[in-house]
Structure 1
């Protein structure tokens, strides 16, 4: 009798272990497939899948039971990439555009998320989600950047799209992390501008930089996030009409700032924009953003490194439609940062040789990383002096 009980006991324990193991396996599978998660890590392409990531190939169609997939996988392609780990392969968006339905969809509970993207091999590409731009002109293979996104309809819809016509728009990895159950962005400083303002990649080590890229180090990041939507070559008409202002207007709210600096490229004859036209384009953007309750700040661009006179004084007050920007700020009663004059005073203080050292080699217009840092410092100091908080 004792022997039978012992045998039954071991058989029972063994059976329970098998059931438990099967249950754990099915539970793990069920969690990945059936439960709607608030964080994900995706590894795209047909190669190996990194530990901790969910593998997704170009053929994976959105499935409501697993809560993710491509809306139109027939418009996706698996491609190689030159990086390592998640960067060793990618998917390519064959059709694209901010309004395209060729998106990667992820079901998410409504809330505020941090979304981090890693591109594959691409010369220049932008990231769109919810039908608007989120990151502008990421350059170089395996470029990485992140943004905050409020989800209000239960699903993230993301794609990689135009940054430079004719190049491949690829995605190697996507990480999504819930920040808050409230689908409202943190207080945000939005920035519009051109190549002297925009981001360059890798963000933490690029030789060239725009002051918008360097501004976060002068901002209280517990109070604000910085969203830099500036792009190289941009003009006022393009910023207003081609999607960047649209992205800002979708999210900007009272308590946010919008810093706008344009004029350098508008003065180029090929862009066919008179100073009067420039002023009215800028006015339209100022009024649209002011109507949201956010604070608009206008900025004038810095001059060229070579704008020194014989006395060693740097001055570029007549460049880049500066007078129109100053007049507009007064007429619309918005703060003005005359970065043109502030930077000239700084350049004069350090002299012509040191000023050249703040610009790209052989380039008198575009600042290097050190120069962009100084411009960002001047911007932040002036905003703080004018009473804007968070700096």
Structure 2
């Protein structure tokens, strides 16, 4: 009797060990959560995985190009990682010519380094992730949730006729939960967008500098603004689609357009502009997030003979203000707020905040001033996460 009991106990113990073993996956079998890829056919940087244009996706390797016949290896003018790249011959937000990487579901930080290109955008999961990276070896990063076990990424059109290249890719897992951290999304034009290198560009948009005045423990900032943009284009050409894919309750969306909409070549009436803007505001509201409208700042030379800066009748400002009231959303009247600042420092100091020979586009110092004004106003209105202080230089 005792022997039978002992045998049963041993049998149960053996079965338990087998079950426990079935849940244990060896490191060789586990899908990695972090990768560093060096693209092209040159020497592979230490610590990186070399990927050539003809490397087709392999389920055993867990990475590769979906259609390598649409890829070529190309040289690049940078050093080490930036000395070579792959070029995407087929592209577009819905293209299947992607670089695929198997990943456990979760939230990832993806860092992209381009090869030689004048202007290119990054697409992943069928939508824009980074808009208009400019210059050779430009680098940027973004958060992305992976929910289907695979990241699908490509470099696509930022400007017609330029090359769309990729030199390096770094992927790091941030969380097991496939949802972005709280995010401030930004929509706008060339006075708002990013310029590269991000940390040292001479020209800058205020959206590029806004992270200086945002608590990084509360928000990440995702600037989807682009040069020359109008409300109709932002709404229908992919930027708004990308925001709506990820925006969620407790996120913010700051939208500033109007400068290019008033250009006759864009054939946008003020009434049409207002309705395009309204549609974006309502789409964000429907996601449970908070839309914020901003009016564009004026030109450096908008001073009257008494030394007062004013541009209150420019760029469909009145329709932006009316829309904010009608939709009951926060408004940053950057037009008036920046004019008050420019008046306080005078014409010469104001002009010094703009690019040389350009009275519309701010330089890095000017973009920093505008970003601080935006953050201070939103903090004053009680929106959380805005410091009004340069956190990166403290």
1:327 aligned counterpart, secondary structure: helix
**Who is 1:10 aligned against?**
none
Once the two structures are superposed, what CA deviation does each residue of 1:141-196 show, in whole Å capped at 9, x if it has no partner?
00000000000000000000010001100000000000000001000000000000
**Who is 1:201 aligned against?**
196
1:122 aligned counterpart, secondary structure: coil
What is the rounded CA distance, in whole Å, between the counterparts of 2:273 and 2:45 in structure 1? 50
> Structure 1 residue 36: deviation in Å?
1.2
What TM-score comes out, normalization by structure 2 length?
A: 0.91
**Who is 1:6 aligned against?**
none
What is the rounded CA distance, in whole Å, between the counterparts of 1:33 and 1:343 in structure 2? 58
> Structure 1 residue 343: deviation in Å?
0.1
- Count of residues paired in the alignment: 362
What is the rounded CA distance, in whole Å, between the counterparts of 1:332 and 1:248 in structure 2? 20
What is the rounded CA distance, in whole Å, between the counterparts of 1:205 and 1:244 in structure 2? 25
1:114 aligned counterpart, secondary structure: strand
Work out whether residues 34 and 66 of structure 1, in 8 Å CA contact, stay in contact via their aligned partners in 2. no
What is the rounded CA distance, in whole Å, between the counterparts of 1:36 and 1:275 in structure 2? 53
**Who is 1:223 aligned against?**
218
1:374 aligned counterpart, secondary structure: helix
What is the rounded CA distance, in whole Å, between the counterparts of 1:251 and 1:33 in structure 2? 33
| Structure 2 residue 163 is matched with structure 1 residue 189 | no
Aligned match of 1:133 in 109, 128, 131? 128
| Structure 2 residue 234 is matched with structure 1 residue 239 | yes
What is the rounded CA distance, in whole Å, between the counterparts of 2:128 and 2:28 in structure 1? 30
| Structure 2 residue 267 is matched with structure 1 residue 279 | no
What is the rounded CA distance, in whole Å, between the counterparts of 1:227 and 1:64 in structure 2? 32
1:150 aligned counterpart, secondary structure: strand
> Structure 1 residue 34: deviation in Å?
4.9
> Structure 1 residue 264: deviation in Å?
0.1
**Who is 1:255 aligned against?**
250
What is the rounded CA distance, in whole Å, between the counterparts of 2:164 and 2:154 in structure 1? 9
What is the rounded CA distance, in whole Å, between the counterparts of 2:85 and 2:28 in structure 1? 22
Within a 5 Å distance, the mapping from 1:1-391 to structure 2 comes to 34-391=29-386
Work out whether residues 98 and 133 of structure 1, in 8 Å CA contact, stay in contact via their aligned partners in 2. yes
Once the two structures are superposed, what CA deviation does each residue of 1:328-363 show, in whole Å capped at 9, x if it has no partner?
000000000000000000000000000000000000
1:240 aligned counterpart, secondary structure: helix
**Who is 1:26 aligned against?**
none
In the alignment, structure 2 segments of 5+ residues that lack a partner are: 1-25, 387-394
Once the two structures are superposed, what CA deviation does each residue of 1:298-350 show, in whole Å capped at 9, x if it has no partner?
00000000000000000000000000000000000000000000000000000
> Structure 1 residue 32: deviation in Å?
9.2
What is the rounded CA distance, in whole Å, between the counterparts of 2:264 and 2:380 in structure 1? 36
> Structure 1 residue 82: deviation in Å?
0.6
Work out whether residues 111 and 151 of structure 1, in 8 Å CA contact, stay in contact via their aligned partners in 2. yes
What is the rounded CA distance, in whole Å, between the counterparts of 1:60 and 1:222 in structure 2? 39
Once the two structures are superposed, what CA deviation does each residue of 1:361-384 show, in whole Å capped at 9, x if it has no partner?
000000000000000000000000
1:284 aligned counterpart, secondary structure: helix
Once the two structures are superposed, what CA deviation does each residue of 1:40-69 show, in whole Å capped at 9, x if it has no partner?
000000000000000000000000001000
In the alignment, structure 1 segments of 5+ residues that lack a partner are: 1-30
What is the rounded CA distance, in whole Å, between the counterparts of 1:218 and 1:283 in structure 2? 27
Once the two structures are superposed, what CA deviation does each residue of 1:106-161 show, in whole Å capped at 9, x if it has no partner?
00000000000000000000000000000000000000000000000000000000
What is the rounded CA distance, in whole Å, between the counterparts of 2:184 and 2:221 in structure 1? 5
